[in-house]
Amino acid sequence: MNEIWRGTLRKMRVAPGDDGHPARYALADGFWNPDERVADHPLNEHLGGELRIDFTGTIACTYCGRATKKTFGQGFCFPCFQARAEADICIVKPELCHYHEPQNPCRDDAFALAECFQPHVLYAALTSGLKVGITRRKNIPTRWLDQGATEAVPLAELPDRATVGKIEAQLRDELGLADKTHWTRLLKNERGEGDLEAYADRVLAHLQDLGVEPLPGADRALRSFRFPVLVYPEKVKSFNLDKDPTAGGHLQGIKGQYLIFETGVINLRKYTGYQVVVSG
Prediction pTM value: 0.95
Gap between the Cα atoms of 105 and 98, Å rounded: 6
> Residue 43's pLDDT is what?
98
Looking at the structure, do residues 125 and 198 belong to the same domain, yes or no? yes
Confirm if 265 and 236 have CB atoms less than 8 A apart.
yes
Establish if 80 belongs to a structural domain.
no
Contacts of 147 (CB under 8 A, 6+ apart): 125, 127, 133, 181, 256
51 CA to centre of own chain = 22
**Does residue 33 form part of some domain?**
yes
Domain identity same for 156 and 245: no
- Structural domain count, the chain: 2
- Ordered per-residue pLDDT tens for the chain, 280 residues: 999 999 999 999 999 998 889 999 999 999 999 999 999 999 999 999 999 999 999 999 999 999 999 999 999 999 999 999 999 999 999 999 999 999 999 999 999 999 999 999 999 999 999 999 999 999 999 999 999 999 999 999 999 999 999 999 999 999 999 889 999 999 999 977 779 999 999 999 999 999 999 999 999 999 999 999 999 999 999 999 999 999 999 999 999 999 999 999 999 999 999 999 999 9
Give the range of the structural domain holding residue 261, as residue numbers without chain letter.
3-70+233-279
The rounded distance, in Å, linking the Cα atoms of 206 and 200 is 10
Q: Which of 224, 243, 268 is the last residue of a domain?
A: 224
